[in-house]
Amino acid sequence: MLPIYLSLEGLYSYQKKQEVDFTQLTEGGLFGIFGAVGSGKSSILEAISFALYGETERLNKQEKRAYNMLNLKSDTAIIDFQFLNFEGKKFRFVAQWRRKKKFEETTSIERYAYVWKDNNWIPLESADGAKVTNLSYPNFRRTIIIPQGQFMEFLELKGKDRSDMMKEIFFLNQYDLGPKVSLLQSNNNKKLEHIKGALTGFEEVSNEIIIENKQALEDAKLFLEKVKLEFEKVEKQLYKLRIEKENKTDLDNKQLELETLEQQRPKVKLYEKEIQEFESVSLHFREPINSLHHITYNKEQLLIKIEKLKDNKQLLNHRITETEQQLESLKDDYEQLPSYKKKTDDYQLLIANAELEQSKIELENRVNRGSPIVLQTQQKEQNLIIRLQEEEHRLELAKNSRTPTQELMAIENWYQRYDQLQGQLSDIQDKLQQQEVEIAGYRSDLEKQNLSETNWREVLQGKITDISAQSNLLKEQENSILVKQELSQYVLRLHQGEPCPLCGSLDHPNPMHEENWTLEIDRLNGERVQLTTNEQELRDRYTKVSAITVLITDKLKGLESLKQNAQEISGLISIHNNGFIWQSFEQGNREAFEVKKNEVQQLESKILQQENDIKDIRKELQETQENRVKYEKSLDDLKNQIKIVEAKMAQHTQQLKVIEVSTYKGIEKSILIDQLRELEEKINRVEQQVTDWNDILIRAKTQFAETAGQYAEAHEQYVALNGQLQALQGTINSLLKEFQFGDITVVKAILDKNLDVVTLREKIQLFYVQHNTLSTRIVELKELTKDSSFSQKLFEDTEEIYQLKKEELELQFALTGALEKELTRLTIELDKKKNLLIDYEQLNNRKENLRLLDNMFKGNGFINYVSSIHLARLCEIANQRFHRLTKNQLSLCLNENNEFEVIDYLHDGYQRSVKTLSGGQSFQASLCLALALAENIQSLNKADRNFFFIDEGFGTQDAESINTVFDTLQYLHHENRVVGIISHVDELKERMPRSISVIKDLEKGSQINYN
């Protein structure tokens, strides 16, 4: 993982939003985050962990986490973290919550996750950081971001916890094949039992039975063919008789239909005559009559229009005269408008001068108020400079009286090392006593079972073998009873003179008697259940005793190791006692040393307080100087503004065109505004009235011209319509004479019928088509039935014979189908039986193979073996740096329990516990292991760059060790690795190529500054 960006707001001491651009920090390969204790350095790491996993080191869910993490001066907390994962994909995780109306209550914490895709943030379904980093939260803390106080956790982890961590980081669960093998065994055994049960249902299936069924099927098929031929012959006779019957019935029906149709002929003839008359009149008279009606109507409407247009002309002429009179009355005011507008401009200038006069008075008042403040600030600045000089002089005197602290630190380290060795010796002695008690308890458990550490395996294995033999004997008895039970079922089928279904014999001289085998089988089942229970109890006992003996062996080995460690630590205590070389102190008088140390600490506290006071004075002086400059600048700005106001007032006075300044001098601004408003309203009113009356005059003249044109056009149309009406009347009179109609009313009566010609023609056409069709069909049917010998009795007899033959054919079809179906079933069942026998043999072979695999993967032996290989590799990589950091004096190794120990080359290469390392050495070992873990994770994930963060840890290093550690960390940049550290030691800041500082402001909260 490589961080890109982090912003946090309202979290712990972070009140306002603060941002960290990691791209600037990670370029140098090594960077730091510095600040005083409690400034909020570690909160940066906690924000990253919480955004990714929703977990923190300080608080859990039951501790009102949302309320306690929220800054007391903030209402909202937001964490926004962006990074690249091992695949180079860009992700963003956001966590946010807010305070409710009641101060102690907060909303639930909401977490979201996004991936950068196609230049957009695409939401992810889950906000679990483990799915992106491939690390759980505990292992993320051990390998990527290592919180304060957790740096040495991996070094001191016990076997099971470290094994679980190795499983996750190196995906060792893929080697945990034991459960999978057990599942395969169980499934395989179930399949074997299933096949055994299935084979019992195929005892009646054989090749001989299939051959018999084939012969019976052939005979049935021959008889079916014979019956089928007879049925088809009768079916043809019946079909012929049915056709003759249908033709005779159809002839009678068609003759009746023809007679009915002939009765409709007069009505059809009447329809034909009416249609002919209606079509002739419509063709010649409909259009002229319609035109006559249309022209008459238009003439009447046009006459009405002419009268209306005449009235409109008179009305519009009167309106034009009135509008011209109104415009004449507005002429004088309209000509004065330019003069009125100039006067409004002068009014606006006078109002602006009144406003500027008021602004000038306010600015002069501000100048009068600000001048004393500037003088006070200047005096305060002089007082602070004098006070700062006095405090710096006092600090110089205190520093000159300081006592060197190197000797006191060395003595304190000696006492701490002495306490550490004594504590380790006490712990080992307690563990020795506890180990001896546990060994005695385990041996007592064996004695209660009449077993010992040497003979327990033979005794228990012998009892298990006896039970297995008894179980096999019961199995044989059960098989014998089951065979007899099966054979007894055939006794009921034996009849004298009929073949036996098993041997085929016709004689049955001594048949087996049917007996009730259920009670015997129940008895055997009860005995088998009891044996199984006894065997399981023995195996459980075997497992428990085996575990006890393994524990005794391990405890004995641990006992020897503890005794050896106790001797080593006693030797180290003796050597350490000889290292007390300070003559001014007594080794046993620690109280005198503590008194001296307290005096030095009090002096250092006093110096630190004086330095803080000086820092506060400098800060106050800087603020005072900034305020003085700001106040002086503000005063100058006010004076400049007064000059600008005076210049604008003079300019406005020169721009007056109509009004004399002396006339309006001293008049209030509100009066000027009222006079300006009245004049502007008069100007707007005159302009609007002139515009409105002009518009009315133009519209009236335009409407008058349009109305006159429409009147002339309508009069011309009226004359033209009169001529058309006379010509059309002459045409209609000529048509009446031509078709010999006495009056136009006769023609209108014919047209008013409004006959549906299409429908009537269809009815007429349908009549002739039906008549012709029936006549033709009757002729055909008479031809077909002239030689017919059909009789009803012959038809009924033939139909009865047909039904009998049909039933016989269906019965034979059913018999043949049943035989064919049975043969198919037997053939399929025989194939199934063969396949089951093949599957049974394969599963039986697989059973043996799975038994071998189960023995191989039993327990976690194989996983522990792979884990030990990874641990050994980690140890080897870590030693490449640890050996160098300790000047070739120490290296890491693994004991038989896969726990870390130290090889001490200054003491003939003996191994000892990592707990015997000093604080600085433990930090170095943990650093080397963290780097080794990072390398392995980088290799597994195929990441280009890897990153991890250390919170504190450098306080335990001396100057020379810090140099070595820093050389190691800086060398990581060449290996394309990024390391970040957090510390409150400001001296380390100079050694960092990139860093940021966290400063806690009392008002603004924690602030982040880039160095």
Residues 6+ positions from 701 with CB-CB distance below 8 Å: 320
What does the DSSP 8-state code read for residue 942? T
Could you please report the per-residue DSSP string of 869-903? HHHHHHHHHHHHHHHHHTTTSEEEEE-TTS-EEEE
- Quick one: which of 385, 319, 820 has its CA closest to 624? 385
Highest mean pLDDT among 65-74, 444-453, 779-788: 65-74
Buried b / exposed e along 755-782 (16+ C-beta atoms within 10 A): beeeebeeebeebeeebeebeebbeebe
* Arithmetic mean of pLDDT over the chain: 80
Predicted confidence (pLDDT) per residue in 405-424, tens digit? 667 777 777 877 888 888 88
Predicted confidence (pLDDT) per residue in 209-266, tens digit? 788 788 888 888 888 888 888 888 888 887 887 887 787 888 788 888 888 888 888 8
CB contact at 8 A, 313 and 707: yes
CB contact at 8 A, 246 and 824: no
Between residues 560 and 205, the one the model is more confident about = 560
Separation CA 477–CA 825 (nearest Å): 36
Judged by average pLDDT, the poorest of 142-146, 387-391, 451-455, 839-843 is: 142-146
pLDDT of residue 811: 81
Could you please report the per-residue DSSP string of 470-500? HHHHHHHHHHHHHHHHHHHTTGGG--TTSPP
Collapse the DSSP code of 114 into the 3-class scheme (helix H, G, I; strand E, B; otherwise coil) and give the result: strand
Mean pLDDT of 708-729: 81
Coarse DSSP helix, strand, coil percentages of the chain, rounded to the nearest 5 percent: 75, 10, 20
pLDDT of residue 1007: 92
Separation CA 154–CA 133 (nearest Å): 19
Between residues 493 and 996, the one the model is more confident about = 996
Structural element, H or E, at residue 237: helix 207-262
Separation CA 923–CA 945 (nearest Å): 24
pLDDT for 14 beyond 90: yes
pLDDT of residue 835: 83
Count CB neighbours of 9 within 10 A.
20
pLDDT of residue 573: 82
pLDDT for 601 beyond 80: no
Between residues 381 and 958, the one the model is more confident about = 381
Separation CA 65–CA 55 (nearest Å): 10
pLDDT of residue 723: 81
pLDDT band at 965 (very low <50, low <70, confident <90, very high): low
- Give the gyration radius of the chain's Cα atoms: 59
* Strand pairing report for 977-983 and 30-35: parallel
Mean pLDDT of 746-761: 77
Predicted confidence (pLDDT) per residue in 944-963, tens digit? 566 767 765 566 566 666 66
- Quick one: which of 811, 817, 818, 823 has its CA closest to 228? 811
Mean pLDDT of 436-459: 81
Count CB neighbours of 950 within 10 A.
23
Using left for φ > 0, alpha for ψ between -120 and 50, and beta otherwise, residue 498 falls in: beta
Predicted confidence (pLDDT) per residue in 25-61, tens digit? 887 778 888 888 888 888 898 899 999 999 887 787 7
Separation CA 457–CA 546 (nearest Å): 8
Separation CA 278–CA 270 (nearest Å): 13
pLDDT of residue 845: 84
pLDDT of residue 30: 82
Collapse the DSSP code of 21 into the 3-class scheme (helix H, G, I; strand E, B; otherwise coil) and give the result: strand
Predicted confidence (pLDDT) per residue in 86-137, tens digit? 778 899 999 999 999 888 899 999 999 999 998 899 999 999 988 888 788 8
Count CB neighbours of 111 within 10 A.
19
Separation CA 30–CA 992 (nearest Å): 7
Judged by average pLDDT, the poorest of 556-565, 591-600, 982-991 is: 982-991
pLDDT of residue 770: 82
Highest mean pLDDT among 401-405, 769-773, 932-936: 769-773
pLDDT for 506 beyond 70: no
Separation CA 602–CA 700 (nearest Å): 108
Please provide residue 101's backbone torsions phi and psi, each rounded to the nearest 5 degrees: -60, -40
Separation CA 495–CA 501 (nearest Å): 11
Between residues 515 and 400, the one the model is more confident about = 400
Separation CA 234–CA 804 (nearest Å): 10
pLDDT of residue 952: 58
Mean pLDDT of 653-667: 76
